[in-house]
Chain A
Amino acid sequence: MKLKIGNIEEDKKNLNFETRTLKIKGDEGIIKTPIRGMNNQELKSKEKVPTEVSMMSDFSVIFRNFTSNESYKILTDNNYVKNLIAFIESYKIRMQHSSFIFSFLQPYQKVFNDIHFNKEKFLRISLNIQREAGLKYVGFPWLNAPSNEVIKLYDAYQRELNDQQEPIFTIDAGTHPLELEKIIEYVKKLNETGRVNFLGILYKKTRSALPSYDMLWEKLKDSNLGIILLNVDRESFNMDNLSSSHVQEFILGDIMVTKINRFFAGDNPPEPKPIQSNLKFFNQEDLRLLTINKFKDNSWINKVSNCFSKKDDIEHVLKNYMEAENDDLKKLILNSISKTHEFLTSSDEFKNSQKFIDSNETSEYIKGKNILSKNLIQIKSKKLTQFTV
């Protein structure tokens, strides 16, 4: 396994960005970052798209969050664990064409509020589940504990993996920077020995974790450690609906993995909206997710359909999008088209930005994206305020 820094570029004075390219040796040659990883929900979406489509990604990620009840089941319920192993195995099979398959089994933050929750047992069983499913890369969950405890547990359990298995530790970007720093020092030491090549970071909204992101960038920018940014919001509502993955590209992260949304029985259902102000598509030109009433005319139908090899199949569905207004099954199909289209075009856009970063022309790229540029500058003013408090 070889990871090597391509280029690092920063501009803290004007456009306020930090970014880098990383070269990773994969099955079929060199993979470059920043890149979009494909999660299991995106792959599931493809199933519902009424045409054939290949979603190529060098990185596939199986990500599952667990409620208190589900986390408890992992500790006690044989059948639940058996089904979870089968779930991972089935996605591992479907993701076999990616060079790297990662999995992360992560309790929700609320689970840690229960002081009786046995973190070590959860860690141990979650690792066993992944090993049983035959994964090479074994994701260590974030344990929401003081750094010395995290390091102690991570170190003890990474030693239990064999030489063919590689640990991927996970940290939460919302944690206090001083605590994170100690864990990073530990991970970097293992990185130098070649034991660890990737680090999972649970995404937090950019503005709610600026000091942590700043510290992480300073500590990791020149390390040969691939940063997998997990659970990234699909869009940033406080940043003009910019795709969060494309904002994070200029803050921290090499492999961006979008958040998997789950809805629970107790959740208040979202207020019903007309389909024109609900259905969204990724607009590659300005990196925003736009509801279809924000597009000037019906040209979005052509734009979206063009991304699929059997263009006519998708065009026909999109032309009749109004039929989904009162039909949940049709809504599901439209949302699947939206997610698949976003994956394809966003992946393409990452390839485009890599060229600029590699040739020290990141400023040119950002200047060409007005809304991104405006928002990155705004983060800077926020950053200064936070540091002076």
Chain B
Amino acid sequence: MKREFETLSDGSIIYNFNNFKEILSERGKNKNIILIEHVILALLNSIDKKPIYGRTMFMKQIFLTYNEILSGKNFKTQNPHFVPYYYGPFSFLVSKTIDDLELDGCIERFGLKNSKIETFIISKKGKGKYSKSVVFRKSMIIDEIKQKRIGWDQLGTEGILRYVYTYYPNFRNKSVIKNRFKEITWGAAGR
């Protein structure tokens, strides 16, 4: 069957109903794919008693998990379609999945939405779901996620933005705060 689709600006693809059913049945055969919800739950579960503070921090940590832990490891992953946005890399799909996981009771959210004191923590139900995920079986990356999450949490929101803007300059162009972080290059090669 010929697939009909439309591609959105963030790279997401809209299929018609029949194509979508076909894709779902294909996905059912491939249980080894790491879905966005697995990544979110793995990040929260890595240090399960300590929350992630702030939506911006959460989004950037998911972005870094994809780019610095999962990439180059030959895993099949669902593409989160990160795009440059007001505060650097942003994924509408990740944002939607976070909301869905909260609604499903897998994530507990406290504090004022979109404030620095908004916190995200994994629930008992979320732990159950995570334990059945592909990531859970990959102990090597679990340790890496834990180690990196400590470093990212320590940076604070300002620090993680500086880090992302330094190492992923392609995601700066739409940012409303890019001028806060001056680009510094060292050496003639300008690294």
Contacts and interface: CB of A to CB of B under 8 A. Distances in A.
Most buried by A among B68, B148, B150, B156: B156
Contacts of A82: none
Nearest to B64: A52
A54 interface: yes
Nearest to A332: B184
B184 A94 contact: no
Interface in A31-64: 43, 46-47, 50, 52-56
Contact of B184 (A47, A96, A333): A333
Interface residue tally on A, bucketed by range? 20 to 34
A94 B156 contact: yes
Nearest to A47: B159
Nearest to A324: B186
A78 interface: no
B162 A47 contact: yes
A193 B152 CA distance: 39
B62 to A, nearest CB: 16
Nearest to A54: B151
Contact of A54 (B150, B163, B184, B186): B150
Nearest to A38: B154
Interface in B58-117: 68, 116-117
Contacts, number: 58
Given A52-B148, A93-B53, A320-B187, A47 B153 contact: no
Contacts of A46: 154-155, 159
Interface string A317-358: 101100100000110010000000000000000000000000
Contacts of B186: 316-317, 320, 323, 330
Nearest to A317: B186
B151 A316 contact: no
Contacts of B182: 329
Contact of B191 (A43, A56, A89, A316): A316
A277 interface: no
A93 B50 CA distance: 10
A317 B191 CA distance: 9
23 contacts: A43-B154, A46-B154, A46-B159, A47-B158, A47-B159, A50-B166, A52-B68, A52-B152, A52-B163, A53-B151, A54-B150, A55-B151, A93-B116, A93-B153, A94-B154, A95-B154, A96-B153, A97-B153, A316-B187, A317-B186, A319-B187, A329-B184, A330-B186
Interface of B: 47, 50, 53, 68, 116-117, 147-148, 150-156, 158-159, 162-163, 166, 182, 184, 186-187, 191
Given A93-B116, A94-B153, 5 more contacts: A52-B68, A93-B53, A94-B154, A96-B153, A333-B184
Interface of A: 43, 46-47, 50, 52-56, 89-90, 93-97, 316-317, 319-320, 323, 329-330, 333
